[in-house]
Chain A
Amino acid sequence: MLANGRNRKRIANKAHAGRGQETKWEMSDKLSASHKPLKPVKESNKISAREITPPSVYFNRRNFIRAGILAASAVATGAVYRKLNPVGTDTAPTIQTATIEGVQKPAATATNNDSGFTVNEAQTSFENITHYNNFYEFSTHKEEVAVKASNFKTDGWTVSVEGLANKPKVFTLGDLLKIAPPEERIYRMRCVEAWSMVIPWVGFSFSKLLAAVEPLSSAKYVAFETLLDPARMPGQNSDVLNWPYVEGLRMDEAMNPLAILASGIYGRALPPQDGAPIRMVIPWKYGFKGIKSIVKIKLVETQPRTTWSDYAPDEYGFYANVNPHVDHPRWSQATEQRIGEPGRRPTLMFNGY
Chain B
Amino acid sequence: MKEDDIRFAKLLVLVCGAVPLALLVWDQAHNRLGANPQNFLILTTGMMTLIFLTLTMAVTPARKVFGLNWVIQLRRMLGLYAFFYACLHFLCFYSLDRGFSIPGTLHEIVARKYIWFGITALLVMAPLALTSTNAMIKRLGGKRWRALHRLAYVAAIAGVIHFYMQVKADVRLPLVFAAVLAILFGYRAINYLHHRN
Interface residues of A (CB under 8 A from B): 3-4, 7, 66, 69-70, 73-74, 77-78, 81-82, 84-85, 87-90, 127-128, 131-132, 136, 140, 142-143, 193, 195, 238, 240-241, 311, 327, 330-332, 335, 337, 339-340, 343-344
Contact = CB atoms under 8 A, between A and B. Distances in A.
Contact of B12 (A4, A73, A331): A73
The 4 closest A-B pairs by CB, nearest first: A132-B35, A140-B170, A128-B35, A77-B16
Which one of B107, B108, B113, B170 has the greatest number of beta carbons of chain A within 10 Å? B170
A330 B112 contact: yes
Chain A interface mostly: mixed
B38 interface: yes
A91 B168 CA distance: 25
Nearest to B33: A87
Contact of A330 (B23, B38, B166): B166
Interface residues of B, number: 37
Interface of B: 3-4, 7-8, 11-12, 15-16, 19-20, 23, 27, 32-36, 38-40, 43-44, 47, 51, 97, 99, 107-108, 111-114, 165-166, 168-170
Interface of B is mostly: helix
25 contacts: A7-B4, A70-B12, A70-B15, A73-B12, A73-B16, A74-B19, A81-B20, A81-B23, A84-B47, A87-B33, A88-B34, A90-B32, A131-B34, A132-B35, A132-B36, A140-B169, A140-B170, A142-B35, A142-B36, A143-B35, A330-B114, A331-B108, A331-B112, A332-B111, A335-B99
B35 A340 contact: yes
Contacts of B111: 327, 332
Given A74-B19, A85-B44, A327-B111, A132 B34 contact: yes
A3 to B, nearest CB: 7
Contacts of B36: 132, 142, 195, 337, 339
Nearest to A140: B170
Contacts, number: 85
Contacts of A4: 7
Contacts of B33: 87
Contacts of A70: 11-12, 15
B34 A143 contact: yes
B105 to A, nearest CB: 11
A143 B40 CA distance: 11
A191 B190 CA distance: 46
Contacts of B4: 7
Nearest to B165: A330
Nearest to A81: B20
